[in-house]
Copies of this chain bind each other. A is one copy, B any other.
Amino acid sequence: MELFNYFRSSASWRVRIALALKGLDYDYRPVHLVRNEHQLPGYAGHALNALVPLLRLDEGQALHQSLAIIEYLDEAHPQPPLLPADALARGRVRAMALDVACEIHPLNNLRVLRYLTGPLGLDEAAKMRWIHHWIEDGLAVVERQIAAWGQGFCFGETPTLADCVLVPQVFNAQRFGCKLDHLPGVMAVHARCMALPAFARTAPDQCPDAE
């Protein structure tokens, strides 16, 4: 398999964690978002959404969207599972992952921040207030769920899809200098995850294209 990704893209890191938890080998293909390499015809031709990450299977088919890729990996390579067995528990894990992937991350990714400072003409301070607002409020939603369902990890005692999504979002929060004092449960899960090689060795600064 080949993973097209960018070291600092938190959606890319989600998939690197899942691949590492599954013990799956892959070739790392860097796509430099800041240099707009994701918009070049050669890449956009097989990434139907012209975003990272993209997983290309050994048979050549490509799959995009990090959560779709992780669910695919969990179905094609079931051990260790990244979702619980029970349907409602699976729903709870997915809800936590989506609370990050739908309510926080889309508001703070590169193309949106570019629109804020470009067409909307926001200055750096207003951009940072926007970032802090969505991340700090959004992670508080995850905090409540960890309090309800977590036992070391986001849900239960082993890493799931929710941890694959949460840890890269915390990295972004720290990078942007967000307030984290109101998130003891989130930060405890983050520390627990980062003690595992699957999270630590796939971190942005460990990537071949790290700057």
Which of B92, B99, B148 sits near A63, CB closer than 8 Å?
B92
Q: Are A95 and B64 in contact (CB under 8 A)?
A: yes
Question: A148 — which chain B residues lie within 8 A by C-beta?
Answer: 48
A50: Cβ under 8 A from any B Cβ: yes
Question: A103 — which chain B residues lie within 8 A by C-beta?
Answer: 49, 51, 106
Stretch of A23-31, A66-74, A180-188 contacting B (4+ beta carbons < 8 Å): A66-74
Q: Are A75 and B48 in contact (CB under 8 A)?
A: no
A195: Cβ under 8 A from any B Cβ: no
Show the binding face of A for B, using Cβ within 8 Å: 48-51, 57, 61, 63-65, 67-69, 71-72, 75-76, 87-88, 90-92, 94-95, 98-99, 101-103, 105-107, 112, 115, 119-120, 122, 126, 129-130, 133, 141, 144-145, 148
* 17 A/B residue pairs, CB under 8 Å, sorted by A: A49-B95, A50-B141, A63-B91, A64-B95, A65-B102, A68-B91, A68-B94, A69-B91, A71-B90, A103-B106, A107-B107, A107-B112, A115-B133, A119-B129, A119-B133, A120-B126, A120-B130
